[in-house]
Homo-oligomer: A and B are copies of this chain.
Amino acid sequence: MNGRSDIASESVGPTIVAGEILVEIMATELGHGFLEPLQLMGPYPSGAPAIFIDQVAKLGGGAAIVACVGRDDFGTINLERLKGDGVDISAVSVSERYPTGSAFVRYRPDGGRDFVYNIAESAAGQIGLTPEARQLADKAGHLHVMGSTLSVSGLKEIVAYSVKAVRSRGGSTSFDPNVRKELIDLDGGLFAALVDDADLLLPSGDELLAAAGVESEREAVAALIARGVGEIVLKRGAAGSTRFGADGSRIDCRGFLVQEVDPTGAGDCFGATYLTCRRKGMAPDRALLYANAAGALNVTRRGPMEGLAGFDALDRFIAGADRAK
Protein backbone atom coordinates (compact mmCIF):
# COMPACT_ATOMS: atom_id res chain seq x y z
CA MET A 1 0.00 0.00 0.00
CA ASN A 2 2.50 2.63 1.18
CA GLY A 3 5.64 1.11 -0.31
CA ARG A 4 7.52 0.91 3.02
CA SER A 5 9.03 -2.31 4.27
CA ASP A 6 7.74 -4.18 7.29
CA ILE A 7 9.90 -4.59 10.40
CA ALA A 8 13.23 -5.76 9.02
CA SER A 9 14.66 -9.12 10.06
CA GLU A 10 17.84 -9.29 12.14
CA SER A 11 19.85 -10.27 9.06
CA VAL A 12 19.64 -6.70 7.71
CA GLY A 13 21.68 -5.37 10.62
CA PRO A 14 21.55 -4.36 14.29
CA THR A 15 18.93 -2.20 15.97
CA ILE A 16 20.21 1.30 16.79
CA VAL A 17 18.92 4.08 19.01
CA ALA A 18 20.16 7.60 19.70
CA GLY A 19 19.58 9.56 22.85
CA GLU A 20 19.98 10.09 26.51
CA ILE A 21 22.07 7.95 28.83
CA LEU A 22 21.32 8.98 32.42
CA VAL A 23 21.77 7.91 35.96
CA GLU A 24 18.62 7.70 38.00
CA ILE A 25 18.56 8.50 41.72
CA MET A 26 15.42 7.35 43.48
CA ALA A 27 13.87 8.41 46.75
CA THR A 28 13.10 5.25 48.73
CA GLU A 29 10.03 6.74 50.42
CA LEU A 30 6.89 8.15 48.84
CA GLY A 31 6.38 11.87 49.04
CA HIS A 32 6.54 15.14 47.22
CA GLY A 33 9.71 16.48 45.64
CA PHE A 34 13.21 16.93 47.04
CA LEU A 35 12.84 19.73 49.55
CA GLU A 36 14.58 18.05 52.48
CA PRO A 37 17.32 15.43 52.87
CA LEU A 38 15.88 12.01 51.99
CA GLN A 39 16.99 8.43 51.77
CA LEU A 40 17.91 7.80 48.15
CA MET A 41 19.18 4.87 46.10
CA GLY A 42 21.41 5.22 43.07
CA PRO A 43 23.04 5.70 40.71
CA TYR A 44 21.01 3.33 38.50
CA PRO A 45 21.84 3.12 34.79
CA SER A 46 18.96 4.78 32.97
CA GLY A 47 17.67 6.84 30.04
CA ALA A 48 14.83 5.59 27.84
CA PRO A 49 17.03 4.83 24.78
CA ALA A 50 19.61 3.09 26.98
CA ILE A 51 16.97 0.94 28.68
CA PHE A 52 15.52 0.06 25.30
CA ILE A 53 18.78 -0.91 23.65
CA ASP A 54 20.04 -2.85 26.66
CA GLN A 55 16.91 -4.99 26.53
CA VAL A 56 17.42 -5.62 22.81
CA ALA A 57 20.90 -6.92 23.64
CA LYS A 58 19.59 -9.00 26.58
CA LEU A 59 17.40 -10.83 24.08
CA GLY A 60 20.38 -11.54 21.87
CA GLY A 61 19.55 -8.92 19.26
CA GLY A 62 22.23 -6.83 17.56
CA ALA A 63 22.18 -3.50 19.43
CA ALA A 64 24.03 -0.18 19.28
CA ILE A 65 23.52 3.31 20.71
CA VAL A 66 24.51 6.84 19.69
CA ALA A 67 24.92 8.79 22.91
CA CYS A 68 27.17 10.97 25.05
CA VAL A 69 28.21 10.62 28.70
CA GLY A 70 30.49 12.64 30.94
CA ARG A 71 33.94 11.53 32.05
CA ASP A 72 32.69 10.51 35.48
CA ASP A 73 31.49 7.48 37.43
CA PHE A 74 27.95 8.00 36.17
CA GLY A 75 29.15 7.58 32.61
CA THR A 76 31.24 4.57 33.54
CA ILE A 77 28.42 2.71 35.32
CA ASN A 78 26.24 3.09 32.23
CA LEU A 79 28.89 2.14 29.69
CA GLU A 80 29.95 -0.91 31.69
CA ARG A 81 26.34 -2.08 31.91
CA LEU A 82 25.63 -1.56 28.21
CA LYS A 83 28.89 -3.14 27.08
CA GLY A 84 28.51 -6.02 29.50
CA ASP A 85 25.05 -6.79 28.15
CA GLY A 86 26.32 -6.75 24.57
CA VAL A 87 25.44 -3.27 23.30
CA ASP A 88 27.85 -1.72 20.77
CA ILE A 89 28.97 1.53 22.44
CA SER A 90 31.41 2.60 19.72
CA ALA A 91 29.27 5.68 18.99
CA VAL A 92 29.04 6.83 22.60
CA SER A 93 31.25 9.88 23.02
CA VAL A 94 32.67 10.96 26.36
CA SER A 95 32.46 14.67 27.14
CA GLU A 96 35.28 16.32 29.08
CA ARG A 97 33.09 19.34 29.72
CA TYR A 98 29.61 18.07 30.53
CA PRO A 99 28.60 15.68 33.31
CA THR A 100 26.59 12.56 32.62
CA GLY A 101 22.87 13.32 32.61
CA SER A 102 20.82 12.60 35.71
CA ALA A 103 17.25 12.22 36.83
CA PHE A 104 16.11 12.26 40.44
CA VAL A 105 12.72 10.64 40.82
CA ARG A 106 10.35 10.40 43.76
CA TYR A 107 7.06 8.56 43.71
CA ARG A 108 4.10 10.44 45.12
CA PRO A 109 1.48 8.74 47.28
CA ASP A 110 -1.00 9.11 44.39
CA GLY A 111 1.27 7.16 42.00
CA GLY A 112 2.54 10.24 40.18
CA ARG A 113 6.21 11.15 40.06
CA ASP A 114 8.28 14.23 40.88
CA PHE A 115 11.52 14.73 38.97
CA VAL A 116 14.63 16.85 39.06
CA TYR A 117 16.28 16.43 35.68
CA ASN A 118 19.60 17.40 34.20
CA ILE A 119 19.52 16.39 30.53
CA ALA A 120 19.72 19.35 28.13
CA GLU A 121 22.79 20.87 29.83
CA SER A 122 24.40 17.48 30.50
CA ALA A 123 26.45 15.25 28.21
CA ALA A 124 23.13 13.70 27.12
CA GLY A 125 22.26 17.00 25.44
CA GLN A 126 25.47 16.96 23.38
CA ILE A 127 24.72 14.12 20.97
CA GLY A 128 25.30 14.73 17.29
CA LEU A 129 25.98 13.04 13.96
CA THR A 130 29.57 12.01 14.67
CA PRO A 131 31.63 9.85 12.29
CA GLU A 132 30.99 6.93 14.66
CA ALA A 133 27.24 7.58 14.50
CA ARG A 134 27.36 7.55 10.68
CA GLN A 135 29.23 4.26 10.75
CA LEU A 136 26.57 2.69 12.96
CA ALA A 137 23.74 4.00 10.79
CA ASP A 138 25.45 2.72 7.63
CA LYS A 139 25.29 -0.87 8.87
CA ALA A 140 22.05 -0.75 10.88
CA GLY A 141 18.95 -2.78 10.12
CA HIS A 142 16.51 -0.86 12.30
CA LEU A 143 16.30 2.60 13.87
CA HIS A 144 14.27 3.17 17.01
CA VAL A 145 13.49 6.73 18.14
CA MET A 146 12.30 7.78 21.60
CA GLY A 147 10.00 10.75 22.01
CA SER A 148 11.87 11.66 25.19
CA THR A 149 14.89 12.57 23.06
CA LEU A 150 13.07 14.93 20.66
CA SER A 151 14.01 17.99 22.71
CA VAL A 152 17.74 17.34 22.23
CA SER A 153 18.91 19.53 19.35
CA GLY A 154 21.42 17.06 17.90
CA LEU A 155 18.85 14.31 17.44
CA LYS A 156 17.34 15.72 14.26
CA GLU A 157 20.46 15.30 12.11
CA ILE A 158 21.12 11.83 13.52
CA VAL A 159 17.56 10.76 12.72
CA ALA A 160 17.59 12.34 9.24
CA TYR A 161 20.82 10.55 8.31
CA SER A 162 19.92 7.26 9.95
CA VAL A 163 16.41 6.94 8.49
CA LYS A 164 17.87 7.36 5.00
CA ALA A 165 20.76 4.97 5.65
CA VAL A 166 18.54 2.31 7.21
CA ARG A 167 15.88 2.58 4.51
CA SER A 168 18.46 2.30 1.73
CA ARG A 169 19.49 -1.07 3.13
CA GLY A 170 15.92 -2.36 3.43
CA GLY A 171 15.80 -1.66 7.15
CA SER A 172 12.89 -0.40 9.23
CA THR A 173 12.05 2.20 11.90
CA SER A 174 10.01 2.41 15.06
CA PHE A 175 8.93 5.31 17.23
CA ASP A 176 7.86 5.51 20.85
CA PRO A 177 6.03 8.81 21.26
CA ASN A 178 6.72 8.92 25.01
CA VAL A 179 6.56 12.65 24.97
CA ARG A 180 4.60 15.38 26.65
CA LYS A 181 1.98 17.14 24.54
CA GLU A 182 3.86 20.46 24.80
CA LEU A 183 6.92 18.95 23.13
CA ILE A 184 4.89 17.72 20.18
CA ASP A 185 3.58 21.22 19.58
CA LEU A 186 7.10 22.64 19.82
CA ASP A 187 8.57 20.34 17.19
CA GLY A 188 5.56 19.17 15.23
CA GLY A 189 7.52 18.58 12.03
CA LEU A 190 9.95 15.98 13.33
CA PHE A 191 7.28 14.29 15.41
CA ALA A 192 4.87 13.99 12.49
CA ALA A 193 7.62 12.67 10.19
CA LEU A 194 8.62 10.03 12.73
CA VAL A 195 5.02 8.88 13.04
CA ASP A 196 4.45 8.75 9.28
CA ASP A 197 7.69 6.86 8.73
CA ALA A 198 7.23 4.25 11.45
CA ASP A 199 6.94 0.58 10.59
CA LEU A 200 6.09 0.17 14.26
CA LEU A 201 4.55 2.75 16.55
CA LEU A 202 4.70 2.10 20.31
CA PRO A 203 2.43 4.58 22.08
CA SER A 204 0.99 4.26 25.56
CA GLY A 205 -2.38 5.56 26.73
CA ASP A 206 -3.14 9.09 25.66
CA GLU A 207 -0.04 9.30 23.47
CA LEU A 208 -1.85 7.33 20.80
CA LEU A 209 -4.47 10.00 20.62
CA ALA A 210 -1.86 12.76 20.70
CA ALA A 211 0.04 11.13 17.85
CA ALA A 212 -3.07 10.85 15.70
CA GLY A 213 -4.71 14.06 16.78
CA VAL A 214 -8.16 12.49 17.20
CA GLU A 215 -10.33 11.53 20.12
CA SER A 216 -11.14 7.86 20.24
CA GLU A 217 -8.79 4.88 20.15
CA ARG A 218 -10.47 3.29 17.12
CA GLU A 219 -10.36 6.50 15.11
CA ALA A 220 -6.76 7.15 16.17
CA VAL A 221 -5.65 3.72 14.96
CA ALA A 222 -7.45 4.14 11.64
CA ALA A 223 -5.94 7.59 11.15
CA LEU A 224 -2.40 6.36 11.89
CA ILE A 225 -2.70 3.36 9.55
CA ALA A 226 -4.00 5.74 6.87
CA ARG A 227 -0.91 7.90 7.40
CA GLY A 228 1.22 4.86 6.63
CA VAL A 229 2.16 3.38 10.00
CA GLY A 230 2.96 -0.32 9.59
CA GLU A 231 1.71 -1.63 12.91
CA ILE A 232 0.73 -0.11 16.24
CA VAL A 233 1.34 -1.65 19.63
CA LEU A 234 -0.52 0.16 22.37
CA LYS A 235 0.96 -0.18 25.86
CA ARG A 236 -1.68 -0.30 28.60
CA GLY A 237 0.64 -0.86 31.58
CA ALA A 238 -0.68 -3.43 34.05
CA ALA A 239 -3.76 -3.95 31.84
CA GLY A 240 -1.65 -5.46 29.04
CA SER A 241 -1.34 -4.38 25.43
CA THR A 242 -3.01 -4.40 22.03
CA ARG A 243 -1.49 -4.80 18.56
CA PHE A 244 -3.23 -3.22 15.59
CA GLY A 245 -2.14 -4.37 12.12
CA ALA A 246 -2.27 -2.38 8.89
CA ASP A 247 -4.73 -5.04 7.64
CA GLY A 248 -7.26 -4.08 10.32
CA SER A 249 -6.40 -6.99 12.62
CA ARG A 250 -6.39 -6.60 16.39
CA ILE A 251 -4.67 -8.74 19.04
CA ASP A 252 -5.19 -8.12 22.75
CA CYS A 253 -2.74 -9.46 25.33
CA ARG A 254 -3.61 -9.49 29.03
CA GLY A 255 -1.13 -8.15 31.57
CA PHE A 256 0.71 -10.21 34.18
CA LEU A 257 -0.11 -9.82 37.87
CA VAL A 258 3.01 -8.66 39.69
CA GLN A 259 3.97 -6.66 42.75
CA GLU A 260 5.00 -3.32 41.31
CA VAL A 261 8.14 -1.86 42.88
CA ASP A 262 9.24 0.66 40.25
CA PRO A 263 7.40 1.19 36.95
CA THR A 264 10.15 3.35 35.41
CA GLY A 265 11.55 1.72 32.29
CA ALA A 266 8.78 -0.84 31.83
CA GLY A 267 7.46 0.76 28.65
CA ASP A 268 10.93 0.95 27.10
CA CYS A 269 11.60 -2.66 28.04
CA PHE A 270 8.25 -3.70 26.59
CA GLY A 271 8.91 -1.93 23.30
CA ALA A 272 12.42 -3.36 22.93
CA THR A 273 11.12 -6.86 23.53
CA TYR A 274 8.26 -6.59 21.04
CA LEU A 275 10.54 -5.16 18.36
CA THR A 276 13.29 -7.71 18.90
CA CYS A 277 10.88 -10.64 18.84
CA ARG A 278 9.44 -9.36 15.57
CA ARG A 279 12.90 -8.86 14.10
CA LYS A 280 13.60 -12.49 15.04
CA GLY A 281 10.60 -13.49 12.94
CA MET A 282 8.06 -14.20 15.68
CA ALA A 283 4.36 -13.70 15.01
CA PRO A 284 2.74 -10.63 16.62
CA ASP A 285 0.86 -12.58 19.32
CA ARG A 286 3.99 -14.29 20.62
CA ALA A 287 6.01 -11.06 20.46
CA LEU A 288 3.26 -9.35 22.44
CA LEU A 289 3.30 -12.04 25.13
CA TYR A 290 7.05 -11.72 25.59
CA ALA A 291 6.79 -7.94 25.62
CA ASN A 292 4.10 -8.02 28.31
CA ALA A 293 6.19 -10.43 30.36
CA ALA A 294 9.31 -8.28 30.01
CA GLY A 295 7.48 -5.14 31.09
CA ALA A 296 5.87 -6.90 34.04
CA LEU A 297 9.13 -8.45 35.21
CA ASN A 298 10.87 -5.09 34.97
CA VAL A 299 8.51 -3.33 37.40
CA THR A 300 9.30 -5.86 40.13
CA ARG A 301 12.81 -4.46 40.52
CA ARG A 302 13.96 -1.05 41.70
CA GLY A 303 15.93 0.70 38.99
CA PRO A 304 14.86 1.04 35.36
CA MET A 305 17.40 -1.44 33.97
CA GLU A 306 17.71 -3.82 36.92
CA GLY A 307 14.78 -5.97 35.80
CA LEU A 308 15.76 -6.43 32.17
CA ALA A 309 15.72 -10.10 31.21
CA GLY A 310 16.61 -12.47 28.38
CA PHE A 311 14.38 -15.18 26.88
CA ASP A 312 15.25 -17.83 29.47
CA ALA A 313 14.17 -15.61 32.33
CA LEU A 314 11.06 -14.51 30.41
CA ASP A 315 10.06 -18.12 29.73
CA ARG A 316 10.43 -18.97 33.42
CA PHE A 317 8.43 -15.90 34.38
CA ILE A 318 5.63 -16.67 31.92
CA ALA A 319 5.41 -20.29 33.12
CA GLY A 320 4.94 -19.23 36.74
CA ALA A 321 3.00 -16.00 36.47
CA ASP A 322 -0.64 -15.06 37.05
CA ARG A 323 -2.48 -13.12 34.38
CA ALA A 324 -4.89 -10.22 34.73
CA LYS A 325 -8.54 -11.07 34.00
Question: A residues touching B (Cβ–Cβ < 8 Å)?
Answer: 23, 25, 33-44, 72-74, 76-77, 80, 97-99, 102, 114, 116-118, 120-122, 303, 306
Contact of A98 with B73 in the complex, beta carbons under 8 Å: no
With A116-B99, A121-B97, A121-B121 in contact, is A44–B37 under 8 Å at CB?
yes
B residues less than 8 Å from A117 (CB atoms): 72, 99
Q: What are 29 A-B contacts defined by CB distance under 8 Å? A: A25-B40, A34-B43, A34-B73, A34-B74, A35-B76, A35-B77, A35-B80, A36-B77, A37-B42, A37-B303, A37-B306, A38-B41, A39-B39, A40-B42, A72-B116, A73-B114, A73-B116, A74-B116, A97-B120, A97-B121, A99-B116, A99-B117, A99-B118, A99-B121, A102-B102, A118-B118, A118-B122, A121-B121, A121-B122
A39 to chain B: which residues have CB within 8 Å?
39-41
Bound-state CA distance A77–B35 (Å) is 5
Q: Identify 10 new A-B residue pairs, CB closer than 8 A, beyond the known A37-B44, A38-B41, A121-B121.
A: A34-B73, A35-B76, A35-B80, A37-B42, A39-B39, A72-B117, A73-B114, A97-B120, A102-B118, A118-B118
Judged by DSSP, the binding face of A is: mixed
Hey, which chain B residues are within 8 Å of A303, CB to CB? 37
Q: Are B40 and A73 in contact (CB under 8 A)?
A: no
| A73 interface neighbour in B33, B99, B120, Cβ under 8 Å | B33
Once the chains are docked, how many angstroms separate the CA of A72 from the CA of B77? 26
Q: Once the chains bind, are B77 and A98 in contact (CB under 8 Å)?
A: no
Chain B residues with CB below 8 A from A41, complex form: 37-40
